[in-house]
Amino acid sequence: MPAYAPSARSLAPADRSQLDVAGELTALLRDTTTELRPDTQLEALTLAVAADLPVLLWGEPGIGKTAALTQLAESLDLPLTTVIASVHEPSDFSGLPVVGDDPAEQGVPMAPPDWAVRLVRAGRGLLFLDELSTAPPAVQAALLRLVLERRIGALQLPPGVRIVAAANPRASAADGWELSPPLANRFVHLQWTHDHEVVVRGLGGTWPRATLPRLDPERLPQAVAFARRAVCAFLTARPKLVHQLPGNETRRGGAWPSPRSWDMTLSLIAFATAAGSAKEVLSLLVRGTVGDGPGLELLAGLDRLDLPDPEELLADPAGAVLPERGDLRQAVLDAVVSAVRERPEKSRWEAAWALLVRAVETGAPDLVVVPATTLASLRRADWEVPASIERLAGVVTLSRRADDVANRTAARAGVPVRAGR
C-alpha cells in the first residue's frame, strides 16, 4: 500500500467517486450558523429548562421539535440523549430485574438501561423523550417515576440532567394515545408552532440560538416573594382551582391545575421575574402548566400585584406615580378611596382629593368620576371642603351632562334608561 493516501478533496475530479461529491454537498448544506434572535417559545423552553422542570413540546409532525431540542443541547453544551418512548418496554424505564448471588439476602436489583448509565457517568445532559403520545399506557405508567423523581430502577439521575419530551396530537400521531393525567400533570406543556420568518431565515443558513436566561442575583429574594404572593393570593380567592381535574379525556392529557402544577407555576414566575422575561413568555409557561383558564386568570392578577400601595400614595400625594393603563389607574384610585373609607381621617380624605387632582392632570379625566363621587360621600360634617375639589367640578359636571344626554336619547329610542353616576 502507498505510504500516502490522498484525501477525497485532493483527488482529481475524475478520480473522486460520486458518493464523495455527494458527501461534500451534504456537508455544505449542513453548514449553518446561529444568531441571537427574539423567539418567545424558544425563550419559554430555555426558562423551563433552567428551572429544572420537565417540558413537553406539542406540535404537528415536521414542525421542528426535534431540531429545536438538538440545537438547544448544542447551545447549552449538554450531551443529548434521545429515547423514543414508543419503542421501549415498561421495564426499560422501571429497570430490568437481575438476579444476584443471593437474592434471598440482597433481593433482586432493577438494572437501568445503558443510556441512563451514560447520563449518570456524564453527570449532565439533556434527556429527550420523543414520540411520547405514541407510548402505550403501560409505558406511560413506567415513565412517571423517571419524569418526577428522576429514577430509573435503582439509578438516580444527577441534578445536571434536564428532561424534555415531544409529542404529536393524537389525531396526527401514529397509533397515538391520549397522555395519562398523572403523566401529563408532571410536564410544562408548550405548543410548538413554526414562525415563517424563522424558518425562512433558517433555511437560508441562520437559525435562532437558544441561551439560558440571565438571572439577576439581586432580584432573587424579591422574585421568590413576588411569585409566592401571586400564587397564594390567587388560590386564596379561587380555592376551587387548587385542584381541578378536567372531565374531558383530551384536556386531561394537557395542562390542568393541581398542587403539583401550581408549585411548578410558582417556580416559573420566580424565574421569569428574576430574568426580566416578557409577559408573552410567562403567559406561555403559566398557561402550559395549569391550563388556559386558570393561567389567564392568574396572569390578569399579576399586573395588580405591582400596583402602588394606597397608603404610600396617601402619605405623599404630590410625588405619587400613577399607572398609565386606564384599568390599572382606575384600580389604584378605587383602592385609595377604599383605604380612606376603612380609616376615615380628615388628612387622609384631603390627600385622596389631591391624588384625584393629580390623576386628572396626568390621564383621562373620566376615570376620577366614580372615585370622586364616592370620596365626597365620605365627608364628615366638620371637614372643610378642600379648594382642590373645584378643579374636579368641571369633570364631574361634564360627566353628568353626558349621562343626561345619553338617558334622553335612550328614552326617545325606547331603551331602558341607565342610572346616573
Output the CA angle 146-149-150, nearest 5 degrees. 50
The pLDDT, as a whole number, for residue 244 is: 95
Cell of 33: 450558523
- Is 279 a member of any domain? yes
Regarding whether 277 and 177 lie in a shared domain, the answer is: no
Regarding whether 377 and 314 lie in a shared domain, the answer is: yes
Per-residue pLDDT at 417 exceeds 50: no
Amino acid at residue number 304: R
Regarding whether 225 and 355 lie in a shared domain, the answer is: no
* Whether 36 contacts 207, CB under 8 Å: no
- Domain finish residue from 305, 334, 367: 305
Phi, psi of 385 (to 5 degrees): -75, 120
Beta bridge partners of 164: 55, 128
Question: pLDDT band for position 12 (50/70/90)?
Answer: low
Residue with cell 368641571: 394
SS3 13: coil
- Is 204 a member of any domain? yes
Regarding whether 336 and 199 lie in a shared domain, the answer is: no
Distance of CA 49 to the CA centre of its chain: 12
Domain that holds residue 378: 310-413
What is the percent of the chain with per-residue pLDDT over 70, rounded to a whole number? 85
Cell of 11: 483527488
- Is 326 a member of any domain? yes
Find the CATH number of the domain harbouring 152: 3.40.50.300
Residue with cell 434521545: 82
Q: Which residue has the higher pLDDT, 335 or 245?
A: 245
The pLDDT, as a whole number, for residue 298 is: 93
**CA dihedral of 67, 73, 77, 78, whole degrees rounded to 10:** -150
Residues 6+ apart with CB under 8 A from 162: 49, 52, 78, 125, 126, 127
Q: How far apart are the first and last CA of the chain?
A: 101
325 CB neighbour count, 10 Å cutoff:
11
- Average pLDDT, integer, range 320-348: 87
Regarding whether 368 and 282 lie in a shared domain, the answer is: no
Regarding whether 146 and 178 lie in a shared domain, the answer is: yes
Among the listed residues 106, 90, 97, the one whose alpha carbon sits nearest the alpha carbon of residue 138:
90
Q: In this structure, what DSSP letter does residue 384 have?
A: P
Beta bridge partners of 190: 57
Amino acid at residue number 230: A
Regarding whether 319 and 262 lie in a shared domain, the answer is: no
Question: pLDDT band for position 94 (50/70/90)?
Answer: confident
The pLDDT, as a whole number, for residue 402 is: 38
Instruction: Note the pLDDT tens digit of each residue in 210-248.
Output: 788 899 999 999 999 999 989 998 898 889 999 999 988
Instruction: Note the pLDDT tens digit of each residue in 403-414.
Output: 443 455 456 555
Q: Is the dihedral of CA 94, 78, 46, 205 positive or negative?
A: negative
- Domain finish residue from 272, 305, 338: 305
- What is the maximum alpha-carbon separation in the chain? 114
The pLDDT, as a whole number, for residue 406 is: 44
The pLDDT, as a whole number, for residue 172 is: 61
Regarding whether 194 and 275 lie in a shared domain, the answer is: no
- Domain finish residue from 281, 305, 329: 305
The pLDDT, as a whole number, for residue 289 is: 97
- Is 12 a member of any domain? no
Regarding whether 87 and 182 lie in a shared domain, the answer is: yes
Cell of 363: 390621564
What are the CA-CA distances from residue 151 to residues 58, 111, 119 (Å)?
A: 24, 11, 12
Phi, psi of 207 (to 5 degrees): -110, 155
Per-residue pLDDT at 326 exceeds 60: yes
- Is 350 a member of any domain? yes
Instruction: For the chain, give percent helix, strand, coil, nearest 5.
Output: 55, 10, 35
Q: Are strands 155-156 and 80-84 parallel, antiparallel or unpaired?
A: unpaired
The pLDDT, as a whole number, for residue 327 is: 79
The total of structural domains in the chain comes to 3
Q: Which among 67-81, 192-206, 267-281, 327-341 has the top mean pLDDT?
A: 267-281
Per-residue pLDDT at 106 exceeds 70: no
Residues 6+ apart with CB under 8 A from 160: 123, 124, 125
The pLDDT, as a whole number, for residue 419 is: 46
Full-model pTM: 0.72
- Is 80 a member of any domain? yes
Instruction: Note the pLDDT tens digit of each residue in 136-163.
Output: 888 898 899 899 889 887 789 999 999 9
Instruction: Note the pLDDT tens digit of each residue in 360-415.
Output: 888 888 888 888 888 888 888 888 877 777 667 665 554 444 344 345 545 655 55
Q: Determine the Cα–Cα distance for residues 140 and 133; give it in Å rounded to an integer.
A: 9
* Whether 326 contacts 363, CB under 8 Å: yes
Q: Which residue has the higher pLDDT, 408 or 34?
A: 34
- Is 27 a member of any domain? no
pLDDT mean across residues, the chain: 83
- Is 14 a member of any domain? no
Exposed, middle or buried: residue 307 (CB in 10 Å: 0-12, 13-18, 19+)?
Answer: middle
Regarding whether 408 and 391 lie in a shared domain, the answer is: yes
Per-residue burial over 200-227, b = 16 or more CB atoms within 10 Å of its CB, e = otherwise: eebeeeebbbbeebebeeeeeeebbebb
Regarding whether 188 and 290 lie in a shared domain, the answer is: no
Phi, psi of 359 (to 5 degrees): -65, -40
Regarding whether 60 and 198 lie in a shared domain, the answer is: yes
Question: pLDDT band for position 260 (50/70/90)?
Answer: very high
